[in-house]
């Protein structure tokens, strides 16, 4: 007998709902799949680098954050940081230079507007590079106007390169001068009962002084005053030259800035106009109207404009068969292993050097350095790769950016030519070692370490035990040997006597001008001049392409980078605020970086042997 029973109404409703939900889910996933597939096909087969530039356009140069040689972190890391609101605002120097040089001969660009409000820092070295680029652009006869609401000295230096500076009517201009101040941790580490165990060579090797002192040493003060004064005088000279002012006027004003503001009854904008620091006081609507008159009006933006980052892409012209001069950027701390952009890794940077050495079209290499140093071992590994590149017959020229000191100088000294800016910080020839131990810190909470070993050095390099005298003797001898090796290499590469090198070494920091007088640098000039010199050495004249040797993302990789950032933004993920965010400005970052240097070295279980000046270019 056949049963004609059917499921009850509730079961039928549930089954119908589930089938409908399944069909809807499949439809949604199929639509998403087709969208992703279409995007991939577009990226792979239909992407275009063509940038449309309208006639009578204004090129807007509005740098954000710090001007750098290369972005910090991998593209994936930057996309995620941007989605979380934690991105490091950075502007690549090469993008500004490319946009200016291309715009000079582009009839569609009629003028340049420099916006300074989002710029945080323009280090002294790059000021020279940008001043030359703006001078080349102004030779085309086109106008450059700079505008800002609040200008500090980095913003004002950039603005001074324009034909005219327009300050907001309610704006301010504040010139503080250069300074070198930092935190000192000796008392704090004493309270935590941390033994730093520092080993160093050189009267002026003050990199680790903050961990053993509560104030600046006399030797460090004398050395810092020498190079800092040189940099500030260079700043005054450049601004005076750009503005057509006697440098004495700027000196007198900066020595009594508070008095000048008080005399203007607190109106900093009026004071700046009266003293000739700016040319006009304008509101934003007035700015837009003026630029529309000298260019072309635009209903959305007020005047027709194009951003320099977008425009720089149009400036890139590539001829695959041309001979090339390669630029390898070495920016950040020098450490071992593979590292992302913004950090110099012994393996990752060496890989780029080998790639340049093996590429037949690359006829010469320029190593662009912006680094205060780092690991002595990693520095030597990179120097060795550079020497192999020279042995392969390719000219090697070093172009120092803002800082190329200690380990940064270690990787520079073997080049055929060393170029620097007058304001580059270099030298700091010396090394130090340190190994913090925490046995007394642990003892305060009742934790002690004991045991046995087979030799006098067994367990000597444990961070939970006091460093024995035998280990101290060993480490000090090793550091002294490393210093002798450093100055011997400098003597060999720079064709100097060891006594001559020792006299200018001892960990002392020099400006580019001071270093050239002492034989540590060959030429003072820009990256463009260093590249031209490399081309001449390779015998290729002026017919060459400039290529930055770096790891490039494939279109598919770039697609997934973009998708990662978009996914996080759509998910609404919020970033956790770290302890460093509780402190104002970048004070928290600097303190955490300092303390991380101590604690990560203890975690590594081996002494840190560093060629580092722990110095930053003033801003």
Question: Which residues are catalytically annotated?
Answer: 205, 406
Closest CA to 547 of 299, 366, 419: 366
For residue 326, list its beta bridge partners: 365, 547
CA-closest candidate to residue 520, choices 355, 394, 405, 357? 405
194 φ/ψ sector (left φ>0, alpha ψ -120 to 50, else beta)? beta
- Phi/psi for 461 (5° steps) reads -105, 50
Phi-psi region of 181 (alpha: psi -120 to 50; beta: other; left: phi over 0): beta
| N-terminal to C-terminal alpha carbon distance within the chain | 94
Residues 6+ apart with CB under 8 A from 358: none
**Strand spans (E) along 42-193:** 57-61, 65-68, 90-92, 109-115, 119-121, 143-151, 164-173
Secondary structure letter of residue 211 according to DSSP: G
Q: Which residues partner with 511 through β-bridges?
A: 425
Phi, psi of 174 (to 5 degrees): -130, 120
Phi, psi at residue 325, to the nearest 5°?
-110, 125
What number of other Cβ atoms are within 10 A of residue 297's Cβ? 14
d(CA 231, CA 615): 14
CA geometry: angle at 68 spanning 67 and 69, to 5°? Answer: 140
DSSP tag of 5:
-
> DSSP letters of 395-425?
-EEEEEEEEEETHHHHTTTTSSEEEE-TT-E
- Taking residue 261's Cβ as centre, other Cβ atoms within 10 Å add up to 18
**Residues counted in the chain:** 619
Alpha-carbon 239 to chain mean position: 24
* Cβ-count burial 352-379 (b if 16+ within 10 Å, e if not): bbeebbeeeebbbbbbbbbbbbbbbbbb
């Amino acid at each position: 007998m056949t049963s004609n029973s059917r499921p009850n109404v509730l079961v039928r409703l549930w089954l119908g709902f589930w089938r409908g939900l399944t069909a809807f889910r499949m439809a949604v996933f199929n639509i998403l799949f087709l969208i992703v597939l279409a995007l991939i096909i577009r990226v792979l087969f239909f992407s275009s680098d063509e940038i449309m530039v309208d006639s009578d356009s204004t090129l807007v140069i509005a740098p954000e954050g710090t001007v750098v040689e290369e972005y910090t972190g991998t593209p994936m890391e930057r996309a995620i940081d941007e989605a979380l609101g934690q991105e490091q605002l950075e502007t690549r120097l090469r993008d500004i230079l490319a946009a200016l040089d291309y715009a000079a001969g582009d009839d569609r660009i009629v003028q340049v507007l420099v916006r300074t409000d989002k710029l945080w820092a323009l280090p002294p070295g790059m000021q020279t590079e940008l001043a030359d680029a703006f001078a080349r652009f102004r030779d085309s006869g086109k106008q450059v106007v700079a505008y800002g609401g609040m200008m500090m000295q980095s913003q004002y230096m950039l603005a001074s390169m324009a034909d005219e500076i327009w300050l907001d009517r309610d704006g301010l201009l504040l010139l503080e001068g250069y300074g070198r101040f930092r935190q000192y941790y000796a008392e704090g580490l004493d309270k935590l009962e941390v033994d730093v165990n520092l080993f160093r060579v050189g009267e002026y090797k003050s990199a680790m002084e903050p961990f053993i002192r509560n104030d600046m040493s006399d030797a460090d003060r004398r050395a810092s005053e020498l190079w800092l004064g040189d940099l500030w005088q260079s700043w005054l000279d450049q601004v005076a030259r750009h503005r057509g002012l006697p440098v004495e006027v700027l000196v007198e004003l900066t020595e009594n800035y508070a008095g000048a503001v008080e005399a203007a009854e607190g109106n900093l904008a009026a004071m700046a106009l009266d003293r000739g620091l700016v040319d006009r006081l304008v509101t934003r609507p007035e700015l837009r109207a003026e630029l529309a008159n000298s260019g072309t009006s635009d209903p959305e933006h007020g005047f027709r404009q194009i951003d320099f980052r977008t425009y720089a892409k149009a400036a890139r012209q590539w001829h695959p068969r041309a001979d090339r001069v390669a630029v390898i950027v070495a920016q950040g701390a020098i450490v071992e292993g593979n590292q992302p952009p913004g950090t110099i890794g012994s393996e990752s940077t060496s890989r780029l050097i080998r790639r340049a050495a093996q590429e037949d079209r690359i006829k010469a290499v320029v190593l662009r350095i912006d680094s205060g140093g780092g690991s002595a071992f990693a520095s030597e590994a990179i120097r060795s790769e550079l020497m192999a590149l020279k042995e392969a017959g390719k000219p090697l020229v070093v172009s120092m950016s803002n800082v190329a000191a200690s380990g940064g100088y270690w990787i520079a000294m073997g080049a055929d030519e060393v170029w620097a800016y007058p304001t580059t910080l270099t030298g700091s020839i010396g090394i130090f070692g340190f190994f913090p131990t925490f046995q007394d810190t642990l003892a305060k909470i009742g934790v002690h370490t004991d045991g046995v070993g087979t030799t006098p050095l067994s367990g000597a390099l444990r961070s939970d035990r006091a460093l024995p005298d035998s280990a101290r003797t060993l480490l000090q001898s090793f550091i002294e040997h490393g210093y002798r090796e450093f100055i011997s290499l400098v003597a060999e590469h720079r064709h100097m006597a060891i006594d001559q090198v020792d006299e200018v070494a001892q960990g002392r920091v020099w400006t580019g001008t001071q270093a050239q007088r002492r034989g540590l640098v060959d030429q003072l000039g820009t990256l463009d001049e260093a590249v031209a010199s490399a081309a001449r050495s390779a015998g290729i004249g002026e017919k060459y392409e400039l290529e930055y040797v770096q790891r490039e993302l494939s279109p598919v990789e770039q697609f997934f980078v973009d998708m990662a950032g978009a996914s996080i933004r759509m998910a609404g993920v919020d970033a956790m605020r770290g302890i460093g965010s509780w402190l104002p400005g970048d004070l928290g970052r600097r303190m955490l970086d300092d303390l991380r240097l101590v604690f990560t070295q203890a975690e590594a279980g081996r002494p840190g042997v560093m060629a580092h000046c722990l110095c930053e270019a003033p801003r």
